[in-house]
Amino acid sequence: MHLASIVKRSVFLAVLGTASLLAFSAADAQSIDEIAKKGRISIGVLTGAPPYDSVDKNGNIVGYHVDVAHLIGKELGVEVDIVPVNNSSRVAALESKRIDIQIAQTTPTPQRAKVLMFTSPYGSYQLSIIGKKGDVITKPEEMAGKSVSVPKGSIQDMTLSGMNIPNLTIVRFDDDATAMQALVSSKVDMTGSLAVMAMDFLKREGLSEKFEVKFPLQTRYFSIAVRKDAFELHQWLNTFLFCINISGELDDLHRKWTGVPIPGGRLPSF
């Protein structure tokens, strides 16, 4: 075979292979039409994180995340299947296609964005350190030599792990509720938590006189996450969030469940 023919054949095979790959990716990607034809969408929602979500007397998960999930279903015209997830299972549930999207209070980070695709934020929070009243803990340096509970794989876990505080013992639990309970039962000196969640828990348990927010670590945001190939669904969700953000509907839902507006005002878009 002449050199020119070999080159032409190589180019043809390369183009054919690229086209096949693109066709496969497009067929494998999750589309709005596929969800509409199925007539339902499966949404992973974080559990054990009141007031953002909790279980009512009938055993149903209710709260801010759930209301956002049902708004998505309403706009898409499909039924919503709420699937409980926690900090350690939410990524696997999405990657394994057990859920279509996750509304699981996940903070977007460059590292997480390597495996998931994040929407613009649908909420924000003040990440704080909670401890016993009377304990002098007003800044990270004063956490040295103490113990702190966190939900495993959470943003507070990653934040505190990266601060390199001398002799700080980080004790990891499956969710926010058990991490908070570790503080209440004196298994740890402090817990890393969302301020709204911590104050809601302490108020409900009648512990406001014993524990308090010691200091804020930082203000962070949480986003909806989809699989890396779900470009159409990702774009639709961003448009949806933009609309309910500027209309004030998102802030109304936040006030309904937490009693306070979304921290920091109107959410950013990206």
SS (H, E, C) 92-137: HHHHCCCCCEEEEEECCCCCHHHCCEEEEEEEEEEEEEEEECCCCC
Q: Give the model's pLDDT for residue 48.
A: 76
Give the pLDDT of residue 270: 80
Residue-by-residue DSSP string for 18-48: HHHHHHHHHHHS--HHHHHHHTEEEEEEE-S
Name the token pair of 260: 């306070």
Contact 125, 189 (CB under 8 A): no
pTM of the shown model: 0.75
DSSP assignment, residue 86? -
pLDDT at 8: 46
d(CA 101, CA 227): 8
**Whether 225 contacts 117, CB under 8 Å:** yes
The C-alpha angle with vertex 108 and arms to 166 and 180, in degrees rounded to 5, equals: 50
CA-CA distance, 84 to 104, in Å (whole number)?
9
Query: Rounded to whole angstroms, how far apart are CA atoms 46 and 83?
Result: 9
Amino acid at 141: E
End-to-end CA distance of the chain: 53
Q: Give pLDDT, residue 23.
A: 34
Mean pLDDT (10-residue bins), the chain, 270 residues: 47 42 41 93 89 88 95 97 89 93 93 95 94 95 97 91 96 92 97 91 92 92 95 96 94 93 84
Whether a cis peptide bond, with omega within 30° of 0, leads into 51 is: yes
Give CA–CA dist 62/70, Å, rounded.
10
> Sign of torsion, CA 95 30 102 110?
positive
pLDDT of residue 129: 97
Residue 207 is encoded by which pair of tokens?
A: 């512990």
Q: Which of 243, 242, 195 is nearest to 220 (CA)?
A: 195
Q: What is the pLDDT of residue 237?
A: 97
Q: What is the pLDDT of residue 4?
A: 47
